[in-house]
A and B are shown apart, each in its own frame.
Chain A
Amino acid sequence: DSGVTQTPKHLITATGQRVTLRCSPRSGDLSVYWYQQSLDQGLQFLIHYYNGEERAKGNILERFSAQQFPDLHSELNLSSLELGDSALYFCASSPHLRPGPNQPQHFGDGTRLSIL
């Protein structure tokens, strides 16, 4: 158990819909990262929050948005969903701004999103 909690584990919805994925980081971790992993693809970085502030953006679509709340949990909002958005969405957390020795990113079990 990594200590990172993601809900829901599975989500099935239709094109055009909007969903919210939730992540609770490990206790004490200030950084939260979101990644997308499509079938047989690598981990694509989406966005990073540190202590409530956005710190880095990757290849995140304009239809996607995220935020980190004062209690440090984070939500990833996906709207106007398309078939190609079907993927595993992982959240990871780490204690500080950058991963380092004894401070790696720890990953949640992911949310599997299926668009029908």
Chain B
Amino acid sequence: GQNIDQPTEMTATEGAIVQINCTYQTSGFNGLFWYQQHAGEAPTFLSYNVLDGLEEKGRFSSFLSRSKGYSYLLLKELQMKDSASYLCAVSNSGNTPLVFGKGTRLSVIA
């Protein structure tokens, strides 16, 4: 089976940097996705990692270490609109759908 762990909640200050961690256990790893979900809305795709290292996309970056089963999402220059849940999801070569973690609820405060 697969197991994905993320912190339940985090709080950070506007303008700051926050790192949201995700650890996973899976067989046949085939990529890791990060999604953002505002309350009551659809998840929206943020990033994809399949090789070790850092992928940067504007204010958001995502890191992957396959040997450690670990990823993080880094959000820079936080804005109030970044308050949302951030979902880590893993793809493996066996099952076809993504398996999602429970998500980390980020609150950005002034």
Contacts and interface: CB of A to CB of B under 8 A. Distances in A.
Contacts of B67: none
Given A43-B87, A104-B48, A108-B42, A99 B102 contact: no
| Consensus secondary structure, chain B interface | loop
Nearest to A47: B97
Interface size class of A (residues with CB under 8 A): 20 to 34
Contact of B42 (A45, A48, A55, A109): A109
Interface of B: 30-31, 33, 40-45, 48, 50, 87, 91, 93, 95-103
A2 B41 CA distance: 12
15 contacts: A33-B97, A33-B98, A42-B102, A43-B100, A45-B99, A45-B100, A56-B96, A88-B40, A97-B96, A98-B91, A99-B98, A104-B33, A107-B42, A107-B43, A110-B42
Contacts of A108: 42
